[in-house]
């Protein structure tokens, strides 16, 4: 249904295409959505996510992260977002305000 997106690449998808997608709920007035594809990653349990957050904040290593959204993303998935690269893409496409991003990753179980 979605255009093929290789790992680390980004594309725009029209709202008409999103409306045809099953199990997708959204409300907005944007005509295009910004979609990024990420490598395989695992989703940590709530307990693991909290442990990761406490471990980083306890050691005052949170300064490595650009913002709380980035930090929460890392705690849950272990992925570090390339916000500098994303900002360059946003500027290249003159995106303002930035449309909602979501990933289309391959989910794997974390054991």
Task: Assess contact for 65 and 33: CB atoms under 8 A.
Answer: no
* The predicted structure's pLDDT at residue 64: 55
Q: pTM for the whole thing? A: 0.38
* The predicted structure's pLDDT at residue 53: 85
- 101 Cβ partners below 8 Å, 6+ apart? 34, 35, 36, 86
Per-residue pLDDT of the chain in tens (111 residues, 90 and over written 9): 555 555 555 556 666 666 666 544 455 555 555 555 555 556 778 888 888 888 887 665 555 555 676 777 778 777 766 554 555 555 555 544 444 444 444 444 544
Backbone angles phi, psi at 95, to 5 degrees: -85, 115
* The predicted structure's pLDDT at residue 12: 60
């Amino acid at each position: 249904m979605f255009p093929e997106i290789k790992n680390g690449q980004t594309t725009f998808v029209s709202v008409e295409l999103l409306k045809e997608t099953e199990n997708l709920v959204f409300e907005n007035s944007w005509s295009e959505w910004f979609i990024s594809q990420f490598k395989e990653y695992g989703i940590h349990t709530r307990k693991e996510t909290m442990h990761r957050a406490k471990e980083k904040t306890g050691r005052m290593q949170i300064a490595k992260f650009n913002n709380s959204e980035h930090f929460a993303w890392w705690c849950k998935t272990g992925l570090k977002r390339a916000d500098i690269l994303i900002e360059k893409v946003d500027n290249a496409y003159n995106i303002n305000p930035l449309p909602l991003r979501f990933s289309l990753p391959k989910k794997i179980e974390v054991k």
